[in-house]
């Protein structure tokens, strides 16, 4: 009997968002280009909750603005590929991007007061999105807007629809912004520091709300923050970004339990942890985020890294993958696999090892399990 042809091996489906070799540089006459995002690769699978973490200036917001097509056209050099749902976004017309924004990809920004229009009622701002993208008539748009406010936990939604942003508290304004973002049931929600402007209690409520909403609606979430504690309780996968590139990516369990990149370990040891023994000292990452080297021929983190040696200031580390973890480091804390393309033998200089994970605000053992 003839053997059945098994056919080509099944391919893994393309992730909802697939960023390849993305570079964003701000150009100015008579000055060197400022590279904010540097040959970045990022995959966000459908239905996942992904954290993008890094210190100030690492390029997190510029990455999200590039995805949304919100970077200015002048003075910006943008190369690479951003595919969303299999469609290339770079090069789309502003009109096409406007259709995708709000409907397919929505964003929640850090400061709700500057994102909401102060002279329009909350109702007008929520219904505008529904009217524009879903062509809902005024009456049903108002009803749906009240449902949305209710869904994000704003009490007495019918009354709140008639109020202006200044009549709402900070937490409620952020909830209203989340309601606007979710109005058209976007496939991808990008939340850029959504809780930074809020006090810790409201912060916890907003994170719980985001978590519930993405679970209930199946929305894919990209959560951008400088705070590892925030991703610990919210995200399945965490990408750590330094100077425009991702230096370590892993599911949150391995990342928090066993950080491999000295920068990830440094970020973890600089924030408190609830299960850490009493008296555990917090250790800041030495130097400042501006102490970097160009990625072209060095590790950008080398000037701040306690494990750095001549190799690190001489050659950029290649990205390597072991299981679900990818890493860009010559001397990781737990070496997952040899560098796939060493130009020369690595010069290992152990040096003092930065302390490994001791924390993250509100990190509980179950958060990193
Ligand atoms: N419009 C601009 N013109 C010039 N440089 C810019 C512009 N926007 C951002 N940058 C630079 O790009 C780099 C990355 O900025 P980005 O806002 O993405 O950082 P971030 O990781 O979001 O930081 P934060 O945590 O402070 O929000 C920074 O060095 C910043 O100064
Ligand atoms: Mg930012």
Any ligand 1 atom below 6 A from CB of 290: no
d(CA 91, CA 88): 8
d(CA 84, CA 306): 39
Any ligand 1 atom below 6 A from CB of 115: no
More confident residue, 39 or 271: 39
The answer to whether residue 216 scores a pLDDT higher than 80 is yes
User: In this structure, which residue's CA is closest to atom 7 in ligand 1?
Assistant: 26
Q: How far is the CA of 59 from the centre of ligand 1 (A)?
A: 6
User: In this structure, which residue's CA is closest to atom 24 in ligand 1?
Assistant: 56
Dmax (CA) of the chain: 77
d(CA 295, CA 21): 13
Atom of ligand 1 nearest to the CA of 57: 19
Any ligand 1 atom below 6 A from CB of 36: yes
User: In this structure, which residue's CA is closest to atom 30 in ligand 1?
Assistant: 57
Q: How far is the CA of 67 from the centre of ligand 1 (A)?
A: 15
Q: How far is the CA of 63 from the centre of ligand 2 (A)?
A: 9
Structure tokens at 74: 């002048």
Give residue 351's pLDDT band: very low, low, confident or very high (50, 70, 90). very low
Candidates 26, 78, 267: which one to mutate for ligand 1, based on the most atoms within 8 Å of Cβ?
Answer: 26
The ligand whose atoms approach the alpha carbon of 109 most closely is 2
To the nearest whole percent, how much of the chain has pLDDT over 70? 88
The answer to whether residue 249 scores a pLDDT higher than 90 is yes
Q: How far is the CA of 34 from the centre of ligand 1 (A)?
A: 10
217 membership: H or E segment, kind and range: helix 200-217
Q: CA nearest 50: which of 182, 210, 204?
A: 210
The answer to whether residue 306 scores a pLDDT higher than 50 is yes
Q: CA nearest 83: which of 145, 174, 17?
A: 17
What pLDDT is recorded for position 112? 74
Summarised one tens digit per residue, pLDDT across range 59-74 is: 999 999 999 999 998 9
Summarised one tens digit per residue, pLDDT across range 326-347 is: 999 999 997 554 444 443 333 3
Write down the residue that tokens 């690769």 correspond to: 41
**What is the pLDDT of the chain when averaged over all its residues?**
84
Any ligand 1 atom below 6 A from CB of 226: yes
The count of other CB atoms within 10 Å of the CB of residue 134 is 14
- The rounded Cα 141 to chain-centroid distance in angstroms is 31
Mean pLDDT of 22-30: 92
Q: Are 359 and 269 within 8 A, CB to CB?
A: yes
Burial class (CB in 10 A: 0-12, 13-18, 19+), 122: buried
- The rounded Cα 165 to chain-centroid distance in angstroms is 27
The count of other CB atoms within 10 Å of the CB of residue 111 is 15
Write down the residue that tokens 């939604």 correspond to: 157
Instruction: State whether the Cα torsion 96-102-107-109 is positive or negative.
Output: positive
Candidates 27, 36, 195: which one to mutate for ligand 1, based on the most atoms within 8 Å of Cβ?
Answer: 36
Candidates 27, 32, 34: which one to mutate for ligand 1, based on the most atoms within 8 Å of Cβ?
Answer: 34
d(CA 86, CA 83): 6
Q: Are 273 and 360 within 8 A, CB to CB?
A: yes
Q: Are 37 and 58 within 8 A, CB to CB?
A: no
The answer to whether residue 121 scores a pLDDT higher than 50 is yes
| Cα torsion through 266, 236, 229, 110, rounded to 10 | 110
Any ligand 1 atom below 6 A from CB of 215: no
Identify the three-state secondary structure at position 345.
Answer: coil
Any ligand 1 atom below 6 A from CB of 65: no
The answer to whether residue 321 scores a pLDDT higher than 60 is yes
Mean pLDDT of 290-303: 92
d(CA 83, CA 46): 13
């Amino acid at each position: 009997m003839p053997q059945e042809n098994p056919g080509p091996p099944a391919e893994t489906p393309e992730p909802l968002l697939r960023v390849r070799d993305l570079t964003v540089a701000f150009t100015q006459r008579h000055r060197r280009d400022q590279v904010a995002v540097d040959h970045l690769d990022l995959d966000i699978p459908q239905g996942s909750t992904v954290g993008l973490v890094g210190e100030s200036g690492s390029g997190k917001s510029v990455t999200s603005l590039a995805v949304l097509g919100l970077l200015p056209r002048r003075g910006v050099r943008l190369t690479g590929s951003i595919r969303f749902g299999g469609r290339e976004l770079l090069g789309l017309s502003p009109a096409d991007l406007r259709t995708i924004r709000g409907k397919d990809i929505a964003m929640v920004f850090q400061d709700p007061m500057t994102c909401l229009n102060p002279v329009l009622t909350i109702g007008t701002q929520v219904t505008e999105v529904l009217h524009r993208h879903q062509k809902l008539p005024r009456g049903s748009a108002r009803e749906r807007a009240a449902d949305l406010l209710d869904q994000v936990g704003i009490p007495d939604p019918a009354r709140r629809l008639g109020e202006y942003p200044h009549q709402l508290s900070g937490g409620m304004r952020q909830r209203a912004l989340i309601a606007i973002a979710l109005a058209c049931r976007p496939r991808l929600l990008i939340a850029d520091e959504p809780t930074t402007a809020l006090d810790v209690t409201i912060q916890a409520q907003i994170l719980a709300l985001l978590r519930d909403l993405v679970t209930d609606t199946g929305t894919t979430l990209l959560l951008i923050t400088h705070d590892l504690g925030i991703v610990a309780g919210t995200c399945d996968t965490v990408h750590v970004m330094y100077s425009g590139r991702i230096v370590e990516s892993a599911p949150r369990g391995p990342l928090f339990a066993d950080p491999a990149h000295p920068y990830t370990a440094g970020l973890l040891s600089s924030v408190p942890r609830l299960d850490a023994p009493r008296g555990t000292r917090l250790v800041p990452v030495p130097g400042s985020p501006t102490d970097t080297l160009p990625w072209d021929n060095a590790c950008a983190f080398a000037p701040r890294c306690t494990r750095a040696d001549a190799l690190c200031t001489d050659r950029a580390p290649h990205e390597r993958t072991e299981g679900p973890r990818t890493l860009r480091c010559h001397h990781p804390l737990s070496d997952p696999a040899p560098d796939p393309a060493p130009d020369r033998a690595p010069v290992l200089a152990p040096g003092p090892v930065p302390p490994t994970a001791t924390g993250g605000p509100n990190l509980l053992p179950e958060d990193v399990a």
